[in-house]
Structure 1
Amino acid sequence: MAPKSIISLFSLLPITAVLALNPSCAPGGNFDFTVWSLQLPTGSDGSVDTIKSKALQGCSGYTGPTFYTDKTNGELILTAPGNPDLTGCATTSGSEHCRTELREVNKSGQNTNWPPTGTNTNTVRLKVVKADDGTHGTAIGQVFAAEASKPLAEMYYSTKGDIVVGVKQDADSDQVVIKLGNVPVGTYFTYIMSYSNNVLSISINGNKTTLSTFDWDSPNCYFKTGNYNQGKTAVTSEVHIQSINVVHS
């Protein structure tokens, strides 16, 4: 067995190689959902349908109309409907948009959060097949402040392939929007969201941007990842994920 220091080192490295995925399995046969639950665009406003971690796990785990396996390559496909006034989709409390989005939980399946000390990273390899037509596009990843119940950092992908992040100056302020890069629609890329050692940063294909946390006082946070549609019209957004890796140490 490799020493713990070596294991820790490799766990922090970006994912560049993707393990073979099984197209015959539900998403839980290809992805580790022991640290995720799933919010769906169904249910009722303020009380969307949520699939617990245990139900997501394994080759026979949950699959549905907006969360399923690509039968050609085993990737995870997440779709989300557009403007709820036009599509009738259900929104979470405090949101005007619909989502098919993973929310971080602990190994017992309960909602969790963590202090921004040590290492806290979420590394995702994906492609956006269809972005929504919202101001900045589809939200594909978040660092969410638990107590404030607001996103500290929300990363978006637009119809033009622009990737930006909105960072709130505090819980009640509007987002300050910072461009991170551009990846053509339908092209794979890897992002790393990190709030480690009290430093917030995002890397796109290895290009790292360190972000100010303004007036936030090192809030406990959790990760969200997936497809959070910000659209003005009824256009359905579509995200394909090859790998997800969360590290806390």
Structure 2
Amino acid sequence: MKLIGKPLGLVLLLSLAGCGGSSETAGVADPGNEPSTPEEPTTPEPPTDPIDPSCLSPKVLSISQASDDGNHKVGYGPENSIDGNYDSESRWSSEGIGKQITYSLSSPSIVTSINLYWLNNTSRFAYYDLAISTDNLQWQDVVTGGMSDKATGNAEVITLTDELIENVQYLRLTGNGNSESNWNSVIEVTAEGCNDEVITEPVEDLNPSLPPSGNFDLQDWYLSIPTDTDNSGTADSIKESELNNGYENSEYFYTGADGGMVFKTPIYGYKTSANTTYVRTELREMLRRGDTSISTQGVNKNNWVFSSAPSSAQNNAGGVNGELFATLAVNHVTTTGEDYQIGRVIIGQIHANDDEPIRLYYRKLPNNDKGAIYFAHESRNQSDDDWVEMIGSRSNTASNPSDGIALDEKFSYRIKVVANTLSVTIIREGKADVSASYDMSDSAYDDPDQYMYFKAGVYNQNKSGDVDDYVQATFYALSNTHQGYNP
């Protein structure tokens, strides 16, 4: 995978929690020093003199992994520190001098400041060290022998100026106890800076002479394509190793003239199963990375689960929570067929056992210059989907969306799940991000048997148009990250 382009501003969000009290032992909290639930933290102001003008608009960067030395309090491991839950019972807690927690950012970044939100910081001091790294091997100290500011209860802002380095991938916080005990108790860490996830210039690093796998790491995907070379009666599936070893199809899946990965799907073609209504050229996430001894289905190392699922499911899965990031341009949509089907295509999904926590749509009607973006959430507990419009309208008679996305216009999407919270962000150069979230607490995807996988490509949502009509999109960046998943 290659992620390229100009840096854009961001805010790196990590959630951490801890506890205090020298009498706390594994599984037992000192009732006299039980941590209190913090007030809702205030977001630190962005730097007044950022290193790059493109840092002026902070954006969220997710954390793909959190880890420690394993000597945390039972039930309060590192996974709790990135679940977005500010309750004191959702925390990372570790006793002792020199206890460390390390975070891997989803992409290399320029870091301009790091902000620490300590538990009970109005009544005690926390002692700590802080470092950053590009490779998890060589570390650059940001703070040594640090002591928190016992003041307002707001974040403690640590500005990186001379210490600033590019391509930061890792943050490491070392806890050295607090002024009351040896317990390390931090609730949240945020950072500000820039990353390069959004492509804003012609892509020079994508080589048009290479197959898609020459420009993208496709080892943890397989491809569904609307052909039937094996005479099975259903669409062909190109498994991980074959796909990542130069596979391409000159009609449906190939490298474009600008080096992008092209997906094209007709209205009529072979489908993935007898129960599937529409035709697709689409990638399906495969965390097993070619290890065919692992089944494609089930709560196993090929699939991922929510952090709201039981711990047994999290231990068995290939990852916990997830983020799908893509940069693409939709090149063509259907213009013929039934009114409710014209112009719509699914460009990203989360699929569960039988249902879809999210289907992300792009839709452009024939008389409009620009297209809309919206998503559907399918709950396991209700028959009808819930729809969330983000840009424009999904209506069959929608007017031209003033802030819509034209064909061939590059944009990015980020689909992210933390516990039962689903969030979607649409990112475009020179425009404010458009974000939406959905609470999946009542959708039953946190049941112990529910497993997830991402999908990306073009899933044509028209089955009634002319035989030569089609959908097409070109992808310029694609990444999938999960806690505990190390490709």
> TM-score, normalised to structure 1's length?
0.86
In the alignment, structure 1 residue 233 sits paired with structure 2 residue 419: no
Distance 1:201 1:225 in 2: 17
Change in 2 beyond 3 A, CA 1:123/1:16: same
Once the two structures are TM-superposed, the CA of residue 184 in structure 1 deviates from its matched residue by 1.9
Q: Which residue of 2 aligns with 1:30?
A: 215
Q: SS where residue 169 of structure 2 aligns?
A: helix
In the alignment, structure 1 residue 150 sits paired with structure 2 residue 352: no
Change in 2 beyond 3 A, CA 1:135/1:171: farther
Residue pair 2:355, 2:380 contacting (<8 A) in 1 also: no
Following superposition of structure 1 onto structure 2, how do residues 113-128 of structure 1 map, counting pairs within 5 Å?
A: 113-117=303-307, 118-128=320-330
Q: Once the two structures are superposed, what CA deviation does each residue of 1:19-68 show, in whole Å capped at 9, x if it has no partner?
A: 6100000111011101100001122787320011111114x333342000
Once the two structures are TM-superposed, the CA of residue 8 in structure 1 deviates from its matched residue by 4.9
Q: Which residue of 1 aligns with 2:435?
A: 208
Q: Quick one: which amino acid aligns to residue 244 of structure 1?
A: L
Distance 2:453 2:204 in 1: 26
Q: Which residue of 2 aligns with 1:103?
A: 284
Q: More strand by proportion, 1 or 2?
A: 1
Change in 2 beyond 3 A, CA 1:136/1:193: farther
- Computed over aligned residues only, the root mean square deviation of the Cα atoms, in angstroms, reads 2.6
Instruction: List alignment gaps of at least 5 residues for structure 1.
Output: none
Residue pair 1:23, 1:73 contacting (<8 A) in 2 also: yes
Q: SS where residue 61 of structure 1 aligns?
A: coil
Q: Which residue of 1 aligns with 2:55?
A: none
Q: Quick one: which amino acid aligns to residue 436 of structure 2?
A: T
Change in 2 beyond 3 A, CA 1:79/1:53: same
Residue pair 1:127, 1:188 contacting (<8 A) in 2 also: yes
- What is the aligned length? 239
In the alignment, structure 1 residue 61 sits paired with structure 2 residue 289: no
Residue pair 1:45, 1:90 contacting (<8 A) in 2 also: no
Change in 2 beyond 3 A, CA 1:217/1:150: closer
Distance 1:201 1:128 in 2: 22
Aligned-residue sequence identity (percent) comes to: 26
Q: Which residue of 2 aligns with 1:180?
A: 390
Distance 1:45 1:172 in 2: 34
Following superposition of structure 1 onto structure 2, how do residues 70-81 of structure 1 map, counting pairs within 5 Å?
A: 70=256, 72-81=257-266
Q: Which residue of 1 aligns with 2:374?
A: 164
Change in 2 beyond 3 A, CA 1:80/1:245: same
Residue pair 1:46, 1:92 contacting (<8 A) in 2 also: no
Q: Which residue of 1 aligns with 2:198?
A: 16
Change in 2 beyond 3 A, CA 1:75/1:122: same
Distance 1:217 1:172 in 2: 13
Q: Which residue of 2 aligns with 1:7?
A: 169
In the alignment, structure 1 residue 192 sits paired with structure 2 residue 420: no
Q: Which residue of 2 aligns with 1:90?
A: 270
Q: Quick one: which amino acid aligns to residue 443 of structure 2?
A: D
Pick 1 or 2: higher relative contact order, CA cutoff 8 A, min separation 6: 1
> TM-score, normalised to structure 2's length?
0.46
Change in 2 beyond 3 A, CA 1:63/1:143: same
Residue pair 1:23, 1:69 contacting (<8 A) in 2 also: yes
Q: SS where residue 7 of structure 1 aligns?
A: strand
Residue pair 1:45, 1:91 contacting (<8 A) in 2 also: no
Change in 2 beyond 3 A, CA 1:16/1:239: same
> Looking at CA atoms only, which structure, 1 or 2, has the larger radius of gyration?
2
Change in 2 beyond 3 A, CA 1:20/1:3: closer
Q: Which residue of 2 aligns with 1:132?
A: 334
Change in 2 beyond 3 A, CA 1:98/1:163: same
Q: SS where residue 29 of structure 1 aligns?
A: helix
Change in 2 beyond 3 A, CA 1:13/1:114: farther
Once the two structures are TM-superposed, the CA of residue 215 in structure 1 deviates from its matched residue by 2.4
